[in-house]
Amino acid sequence: MKTTINAIKFDADRKLVLFVQNKVKKLSKFFDEILAAEVFLKLENTQDIDNKTVEIRIEIPGNSLFSRKQSKTFEESTDLAIDALKLQLIKHKEKLRGV
Per-residue pLDDT reduced to its tens digit, 21-71: 999 999 999 888 999 999 999 988 777 788 899 999 999 998 899 999 999
C-alpha distance from residue 77 to each of 8, 20, 48, 56 (Å): 15, 10, 15, 10
Give CA angle at 70 (67, 93), nearest 5°.
20
Q: What are phi and psi of 78, to 5 degrees?
A: -65, -45
Flag whether pLDDT at 17 surpasses 70.
Answer: yes
> pLDDT value at position 81?
97
> pLDDT value at position 86?
96
> pLDDT value at position 97?
85
pTM: 0.91
Residue 89, burial from CB neighbour count under 10 angstroms (0-12, 13-18, 19+): buried
The verdict on domain 2-97 having CATH code 3.30.160.100 is yes
**Domain coordinates of the chain in residue numbers?**
2-97
- Per the CB < 8 A criterion, the answer to whether 69 and 47 are in contact is no
- Residue 84's pLDDT band (boundaries 50, 70, 90)? very high
> pLDDT value at position 40?
97
> pLDDT value at position 98?
81
